[in-house]
Amino acid sequence: MALNTRGWEALLRLRFADRAGRTRVVARERRGPLALQRPFYPEGSVCHAYLLHPPGGVVGSDSLDIRLHVEAGAQALVTTPGATKFYRSGGRLATQVQTLSVEAGGLLEWLPQENIFFPDAQARVETRVELAAGGRFIGWDIQCLGRPVIDEAFDKGEVNALTRVAIDGRLLLVDQMRTRGRDLVDAPAGMRSCPMQATMLIIDGEAPEHSRETLLAQVRDALARAATGIEAGATCVDGIVVVRLLGLRTEPMLRVLSEVWARARPLVAGREAVAPRIWAT
Tell me the per-residue pLDDT of 221-243, one tens digit each, with 9 for 90 and over.
999 999 888 999 999 999 999 99
Q: Is the pLDDT of residue 4 over 80?
A: no
pLDDT digits (tens, 9 = 90+) for 190-226: 898 999 999 999 999 878 877 889 999 999 999 999 9
123/159 Cα distance (integer angstroms): 5
pLDDT at 140: 98
Q: Residue range 13-19: average pLDDT?
A: 98
Is there a contact between 112 and 100 (Cβ–Cβ < 8 Å)? Answer: no
Q: Residue range 138-146: average pLDDT?
A: 97
pLDDT at 183: 92
Strand partners, 235: 242
Contacts of 131 by beta carbon, 8 Å cutoff, 6+ apart: 101, 102, 137, 165, 166, 167, 168, 203, 205
154 φ/ψ angles, rounded to the nearest 5 degrees: -85, 80
pTM for the whole structure: 0.94
pLDDT at 281: 76
Q: Residue range 122-134: average pLDDT?
A: 97
pLDDT at 3: 40
pLDDT at 6: 67
Q: In Å, how far from its chain's centre is CA 59?
A: 20
User: pLDDT-based confidence at 105, cuts 50/70/90?
Assistant: very high
Q: Give the residue among 239, 279, 243 at the shortest CA–CA distance from 261.
A: 243
Is there a contact between 189 and 155 (Cβ–Cβ < 8 Å)? Answer: no
| H-helix segments, 137-249 | 183-186, 209-226
pLDDT at 206: 76
Alpha-carbon dihedral angle through residues 177, 178, 180, 184, given to the nearest 10 degrees: -40
Average pLDDT, the chain: 93
On the CB side of 2, CA atoms within 13 Å amount to 2
262/260 Cα distance (integer angstroms): 5
pLDDT at 52: 94
pLDDT at 172: 96
pLDDT at 1: 31
Alpha-carbon dihedral angle through residues 192, 264, 208, 99, given to the nearest 10 degrees: 70
